[in-house]
Amino acid sequence: MEDLIRYAPDLALGFLENIKLSIVGAITSLILGTILVAMRVSPTPVLRVAGTFYVNVIRNTPLTLVLAFSALGLSDQLGLVFSAEPRINSFWIVAMGLSAYTAAFVCEALRSGINTVPLGQAEAARAIGLTFMQSLRMIILPQAFRAVVAPLGSVMIAMIKNTTVAVAGGFAAESAANMKESFDQVGASIPIFLGIVVAFMAVTLPVGWFTGRLARRLAVAR
Amino acid sequence: MSTSVLFDVPGPRARTRNALLTVASVILVGAALYGIYSGFDAKGQWRAEIWQPFLEWETWEFYIFPGLLGTLRAAAVASVLALVFGAVFGLARLSDHRWIRVPAGVVVEVFRAIPLLLLIFFIFYLAPAVAGPGDYTFMAVVVGLMLYNGSVLAEVVRAGVLSVAKGQSEAAYAIGMRKNQVMRLVLLPQAVTAMMPAIVSQLVVLLKDTALGYIIAYVDLLNTGFKILPARFFGSLIPAAIVIGVIYVALNMALSFLATWLERRSRRSRKTSAAPIEPPGQPAIGAGAGTGPQGGGVAAGRGME
Amino acid sequence: MHMRRAGALLSVAALAAGLSACGGGEQTYATVADKIAAGETIVVGTKWDQPSLGLKMGNEPEGFDVDVAKAVLKQMNGGKDVAVEWKESASSNREPFLQNGTVDIIFATYSITEERKTKVTFGGPYVVAHQDVMVRGDDTTINTPQDLEGKRICKAAGSNSYRRITDPPPDGELDLDATTVDAANYSECVQKLSGSNLDAVTTDDLILAGFAKQAQQSGGKFKVLGQGFTDEKYGVGVKKGDTKTCEAVNTAVKALWDNGTMKTLLDKWFGGIQGLKLSDTAPTPEGCA
């Protein structure tokens, strides 16, 4: 128990980084995922192919590799630098990699949501003269989003947990890396492990509960 | 809904617009790809000598294949265990007995909420205290994967069983089947078909997650291919990342294709079994059509008769 | 159908049995020295990603640490070869691997420090390295370790070399205001050095020399400053409290220095590298308390 108390400030600071990563990741991956799904259903074959290719590649690559490639390839080699301060730079590199990875899953969730929208909706939208972008924006996506609130919730929960892989992208200030460091110093400590687990559950369980509730409230009655 | 419903057959103006959009997107995508290409080129990442190692058998024999084997071994063992774990806990959560249902629910919820990386790491550290000294890297990776993915699969199993129409179990009870018979003979066989896509996509996740073993130096594809190989062949880091990435993508896509194929096959067989009016010879024709190159099968076969 | 189900059940049972067999079941020995005497296979932890020290070449690692491990074990076994299973032990895995019994003995650029002595028993040291600095070949701004002020240096997980730069004594040394860049290990540090986010890698000269030598062979340009400013006593890690093995290691190391084996091995792996000063006398043993 004293181990937990001794390392609590470090771990709490680390966990704060997990939360910050999660927030940035959630926002960017939702935006990016929406763009991707628009590409995948667009009338332009090139965009469709590009979107499909991106999703299939990213979705089937381990996050560890995506993050490592972002850090070692995009940042170190291509000079994609967000900040001169290494720690801030690696934070954004990881946030970027995490968003790029999660966006593929957001896109897939949304696409299955689009599949739940009845054909008649799209046909009616066309019949009243809406363009592709208009029908997507005003008719299809709003209904698709409502249908996939719960799956998107699971994607977000997975992403929150995935922030623990950040060290693969050279960002070692978060709680998993802190835990590893503390274990290396004092050996395995059940209180430390449970402390972090409880912290994660304190975030993921409400997200799951909230999105579940929201899903029921927003469900389109058909 | 097929995507083509989202837009009309384009008229002249729309065609011009689409053509313009196509050109614009080709330029955009091309520019992005060229940006990456030339960026790496400027840093000499396409030099032949750093790609050379991947043309040599030794590289594959001593670095990539042993790692791939480690990945597949962990994934295979963990998959089987996770499926068993998922089936047991998924069904336990459906139990009529509170004292089974509630603990099973707690186990599933807890393991779903723990970041897998931490779980693997913790098991690795804790195992010697419980089971004496030894090499626990493989065990920790496999057990971690089993607990997490098993918990997700438990939810899949539960949802699958619940998705079977209520009339099925009611009918089974009505003809005097016992609880375990209803589950075993009526609900599960139908649920498995419904669960198939979800199960396989979870197995893809499991396969990818073996890469988390790096934290305890488990010898997997990521470890040998991305950490040791670039140390052996200086400068080959980016090529290694690309080669390893391609292998992972190919592996997972193959698994996904297998899933689609299995799903199509089992859905077709369900169709035949769910139509009891069919003449007894029908399933044979169905199966025959299934082995043909054109998967469409049953209905066409019937039409030809 | 029943056959298939039975087969599935059988394979699950086999898997479970195989898994539990991983746990234990073999005879345990009180000390590694006893295990060697009994003719068992010894699990040796080395680096697998450090050129000239421990680098996986083919099925087994090669390098100075690996050769020393073979020589020491052979010496401990009265001149007979010992069957060895090599196990990768990254910097951050060394203590847990010894504590868990994942490995029996570690030869992996393992500096003896007071902090580590609380968790590991060290035999040796078998060689003394010196912390040094490696920079890009065309870098003219860093010529002494003191020039690292305000620069970006690499912090490899589980290694504390960076503290010698950033912290004051007793934990550190130079107390400079340098920024650390996190990396998983030193080979990643060296990769990063060829990129744009890192200015210098600072750790033991033997490690750096190995990387510099390898990079040179494939056209990479790094230079080691050749101004070591600490003594890093490379020890042989065994499980905490295994003094019997530790004593045996010390005897073996002394014998290997006396008969010239160590010098030969040092020359074999590090001979002819510019700026690297190799010691030719045996380091003072630390004792196995």
Q: Which backbone phi and psi does A97 adopt, to 5 degrees? A: -60, -45
Angle, alpha carbons B19-B21-B27 (nearest 5°): 105
User: What pLDDT is recorded for position C25?
Assistant: 42
**B261 touching A, CB under 8 A?**
no
CB contact under 8 A, A76 and C181: no
CATH number of B51-269: 1.10.3720.10
Give the alpha-carbon dihedral of C150, C152, C157, C162, to 10 degrees.
-40
User: Could you give the CA distance from residue C88 to residue C102 in angstroms, rounded to a whole number?
Assistant: 10
Question: Which of B77, B128, B233 lies nearest to residue C100, judging by beta carbons?
Answer: B128
State both tokens at C197: 């986010």
Q: State yes or no: pLDDT of A143 exceeds 90.
A: no
**C22 touching B, CB under 8 A?**
yes
CB contact under 8 A, B137 and C51: no
Which class for B290: exposed (0-12), middle (13-18), buried (19 or more C-beta within 10 A)?
Answer: middle
Q: Which backbone phi and psi does A124 adopt, to 5 degrees? A: -65, -40
Q: Which residue of C has its CA nearest to A74?
A: C195
Q: State yes or no: pLDDT of B273 exceeds 60.
A: no
User: What pLDDT is recorded for position B3?
Assistant: 53
**A89 touching C, CB under 8 A?**
yes
Mean pLDDT taken over chain B: 78
The whole-angstrom distance between residue C233's C-alpha and the CA centroid of its chain comes to: 11
Could you say which residues from 182 to 211 on chain C have a Cβ atom under 8 Å away from some Cβ of chain A? 182-184, 188, 191-192, 194-198
Q: Among candidates C183, C104, C98, which has minimal Cα distance to B231?
A: C183
State both tokens at C159: 């290694």
Q: Among candidates C96, C93, C85, which has minimal Cα distance to C35?
A: C85
**B139 touching C, CB under 8 A?**
yes
User: What pLDDT is recorded for position A28?
Assistant: 95
Closest Cα of chain A to C123: distance in Å? 21
Of residues A36 and C265, the one with the higher pLDDT is A36
Q: Which residue of C has its CA nearest to A173?
A: C182
Work out whether strand C54-57 and strand C60-62 pair parallel, antiparallel, or are unpaired: antiparallel
> Which of the 8 DSSP states describes residue B96?
S
The whole-angstrom distance between residue A41's C-alpha and the CA centroid of its chain comes to: 21
Q: State yes or no: pLDDT of A210 exceeds 50.
A: yes
Going by pLDDT thresholds of 50, 70 and 90, the confidence category of residue B268 is low
**B1 touching A, CB under 8 A?**
yes
**B209 touching A, CB under 8 A?**
yes
Going by pLDDT thresholds of 50, 70 and 90, the confidence category of residue B200 is confident
Going from the C-alpha of C173 to that of each of C147, C163, C176, the distances in angstroms are: 14, 7, 9
**Domain A20-172 falls in which CATH fold?**
MetI-like fold (1.10.3720)
Domain segments of chain C: what residues? Answer: 32-128+233-270, 131-224
Q: What is the pTM of this model?
A: 0.82
Task: Tell me the mean pLDDT in the region A87-96.
Answer: 89
Task: Tell me the mean pLDDT in the region B161-190.
Answer: 87
**A60 touching B, CB under 8 A?**
yes
State both tokens at B285: 């024709």
User: Could you give the CA distance from residue B170 to residue B163 in angstroms, rounded to a whole number?
Assistant: 14
**Domain C32-128+233-270 falls in which CATH fold?**
D-Maltodextrin-Binding Protein; domain 2 (3.40.190)
Q: Which residue of C has its CA nearest to B43?
A: C195
CB contact under 8 A, C101 and B139: no
Q: Which residues of A fall within a CB distance of 8 Å from C180?
A: 86
Q: At what angle do helices C186-193 and C205-217 cross, to 10 degrees?
A: 50
User: Would you say B213 and B144 are in contact if contact means Cβ atoms under 8 Å apart?
Assistant: no
The whole-angstrom distance between residue B279's C-alpha and the CA centroid of its chain comes to: 37
Closest Cα of chain A to B52: distance in Å? 19
Residue-wise pLDDT tens digits, C125-177: 888 888 888 888 888 888 888 888 888 888 887 777 888 888 887 777 778 88
Q: Which helix (H) or strand (E) segment is C69 a member of? A: helix C64-76
**A82 touching C, CB under 8 A?**
no
User: What pLDDT is recorded for position B275?
Assistant: 29
**B19 touching A, CB under 8 A?**
no
Work out whether strand C84-88 and strand C42-46 pair parallel, antiparallel, or are unpaired: parallel
| Interface contacts A/B by beta carbons within 8 Å | 147
Q: Which backbone phi and psi does A187 adopt, to 5 degrees? A: 85, 175
User: Would you say C64 and C213 are in contact if contact means Cβ atoms under 8 Å apart?
Assistant: no
Mean pLDDT taken over chain C: 79
Closest Cα of chain C to A62: distance in Å? 17
Q: Which residue of A has its CA nearest to C156?
A: A170
Closest Cα of chain C to A194: distance in Å? 20
User: Would you say C198 and C192 are in contact if contact means Cβ atoms under 8 Å apart?
Assistant: yes
**B126 touching C, CB under 8 A?**
no
User: Could you give the CA distance from residue A92 to residue A82 in angstroms, rounded to a whole number?
Assistant: 7
**Domain C131-224 falls in which CATH fold?**
D-Maltodextrin-Binding Protein; domain 2 (3.40.190)
Of residues A222 and A81, the one with the higher pLDDT is A81
Of residues B24 and C196, the one with the higher pLDDT is B24
User: Would you say B212 and A67 are in contact if contact means Cβ atoms under 8 Å apart?
Assistant: no
Of residues B52 and C104, the one with the higher pLDDT is C104
Residue to mutate among A77, A181, A183, with most C CBs inside 10 A, is A77
DSSP string, A92-149: HHHHHHHHHHHHHHHHHHHHHHHHHS-HHHHHHHHHTT--HHHIIIIIIHHHHHHHTH
Question: Which of A76, A167, A180 lies nearest to residue C195, judging by beta carbons?
Answer: A76
Q: Among candidates C233, C238, C210, which has minimal Cα distance to C94?
A: C238
Could you say which residues from 112 to 141 on chain B have a Cβ atom under 8 Å away from some Cβ of chain A? 113-118, 121-122, 125-126, 129
Domain segments of chain A: what residues? Answer: 20-172
User: Could you give the CA distance from residue B154 to residue B158 in angstroms, rounded to a whole number?
Assistant: 6
Domain segments of chain B: what residues? Answer: 51-269
**A70 touching C, CB under 8 A?**
no
CB contact under 8 A, C197 and A167: no
Sorted by sequence, the CB contacts under 8 Å of residue B119 that are 6+ apart come out as B111, B144, B147, B148
The whole-angstrom distance between residue C243's C-alpha and the CA centroid of its chain comes to: 20
Residue to mutate among B122, B126, B206, with most A CBs inside 10 A, is B122
Q: Among candidates C184, C234, C178, C177, which has minimal Cα distance to C204?
A: C234
Q: What is the 3-state secondary structure (H, E, C) of C170-206?
A: CCCCCCCCCEEEEECCHHHHHHHHCCCCCCEEEEEHH
**At which residue do the structure tokens 């619940």 appear?**
B162
For residue B105, the one-letter residue type is G
User: What pLDDT is recorded for position B250?
Assistant: 92
Interface confidence (ipTM) of the complex: 0.86
Per the document, the length of chain A is 222
Task: Tell me the mean pLDDT in the region C107-118.
Answer: 84
CB contact under 8 A, C191 and A75: no
> Which of the 8 DSSP states describes residue B133?
S
CB contact under 8 A, B217 and C24: no
User: What pLDDT is recorded for position B283?
Assistant: 28
Number of Cβ atoms within 10 Å of the Cβ of A50: 21
- Collect contacts of A179-182 with beta carbons under 8 A, ≥24 apart: A179/A11, A179/A14, A179/B118, A179/B121, A180/B121, A180/B215, A180/C92, A180/C157, A182/A3, A182/A7, A182/A10, A182/A11
User: What pLDDT is recorded for position B299?
Assistant: 28
Which class for B166: exposed (0-12), middle (13-18), buried (19 or more C-beta within 10 A)?
Answer: exposed
Q: State yes or no: pLDDT of A30 exceeds 90.
A: yes
- Collect contacts of B296-303 with beta carbons under 8 A, ≥24 apart: B297/B268, B298/B268, B298/B271, B298/B272
User: What pLDDT is recorded for position B150?
Assistant: 93
